[in-house]
Amino acid sequence: MSNVPNISEFVNQKPSPSNRSGSHLNEVAEAAKRYVQARVETGVVPEDAAKAANYSLKQLNRIFSLYTGMTLAEYVRWSKLAKALFEVRHGDAPLIDIALKYGYQTQEGFTRAFKDHFAVTPGDYRKSRHPITAKNWHVNELIHQEAHATSHKGPFTLGCVDNWLITKPERLWIPLRTNVEGLPAHEFYDLCGKEGVIGKASFFPDAVGVGGAYFSLTSNCLLSFGVEVEAGYPQSLIDGHEVVRIPQSQYVVFNYPKYSIEDHGDAIRSTWGTQKDYDIAAHGLKWDFDGAPVLEEDHGETGYTLWFPACDA
């Protein structure tokens, strides 16, 4: 694989977008989502989104259902519940105030909807932080997004993050999409999900890791989503893909263990915060960002993990 670029060659390439949606109708559905999310706390109804998009509600519902699997009314209702979940979790406002804010006429109605979707009442959840498993994939996805948004606004719970030192052998990185838009990482990963890029990781059996690689911590444009494979990975499986060689490197590993979906923002903030406070000089090391990328992975069984390259000081 003599044509495989090294880290510096990859960083100096001008990235080009891939897998961008060319579908106007998909853009209509995404615009409707953004419209709802920007107004979900102000009593938005599906008819508002349809009017803003210059479609009839029937037309927009057909488009929205085609690209999301749910109606606009379901998306509005579930978006409100996802936001309410975090107000119950992080705030101290009376439950009736949260219920009224998100369009419920009574606390009892809010409690029924909350328990129907999350299998726990809002009162019990506030007291016990009972792990949440939503009744369907769409609500889980909205909780995931809201966990990001909430933690970036400020409130989050610091969790226990372990760290240790390892040496990884030479590996290959296959970027499936690069963040050419320079989006914040969480928005970039959400976009990868919407474009179907994340699902393409399954095309690479026996991958060592699936997640993100930061080839620079000063520019989000050099963040890519992809897969990490062994150096001897079969050529036939990577033909036609961009491949970057990552040399054998030492890494300080930071791991937030397996967590429930509503703790997603806590996991990320806690892990990056622990890395920031890590006294690498006390271990006789220094960060080696020129030698290897920073890697991150969010796995259902092992939790959220960062690998920061290091070398002897």
Q: Which two tokens stand for residue 99?
A: 């219920």
Model confidence over 163-202: pLDDT tens digits?
999 999 999 999 999 999 999 888 899 889 888 899 999 9
Handedness of CA 176, 182, 188, 191 (dihedral sign): negative
Q: How far apart (Å, rounded) are the C-alpha atoms in residues 297 and 267?
A: 12
Average pLDDT rounded to a whole number, residues 283-294: 94
End-to-end CA distance of the chain: give it in Å, rounded. 32
CATH superfamily, domain at 160-312 = Regulatory factor, effector binding domain (3.20.80.10)
DSSP conformational letter for 261:
G
- For 138-193, strand residue ranges (E) read 162-168, 171-178
148 HSE (CA, 13 A, CB side)? 12
pLDDT at 152 (0 to 100): 54
What is the C-alpha to C-alpha distance for residues 10 and 243, in angstroms, rounded to an integer? 9
What CATH superfamily is the domain 24-153?
Homeodomain-like (1.10.10.60)
pLDDT surpasses 50 at 21: no
Position 134 scores a pLDDT of 72
CA 132 to chain centre: 17
Beta strands in the chain, from DSSP E residues, in sequence order: 162-168, 171-178, 209-214, 223-230, 244-246, 249-256, 285-287, 294-299, 303-312
**Where are the chain's structural domains?**
24-153, 160-312
Q: What is the pLDDT of residues 36-73, one digit of tens each?
A: 988 888 888 899 999 988 999 999 998 888 888 888 99
Rounded-to-integer distance, Cα 272 and Cα 64, Å: 36
pLDDT tens per residue, range 153-162: 555 556 789 9
Q: Where does the pLDDT of residue 131 fall: very low under 50, low under 70, confident under 90, or very high at 90 and above?
A: confident
DSSP string for 203-239: GSTT-SEEEEEES-SS-GGGEEEEEEEETT--HHHHT
Kindly report the average pLDDT of the chain as a whole number: 85
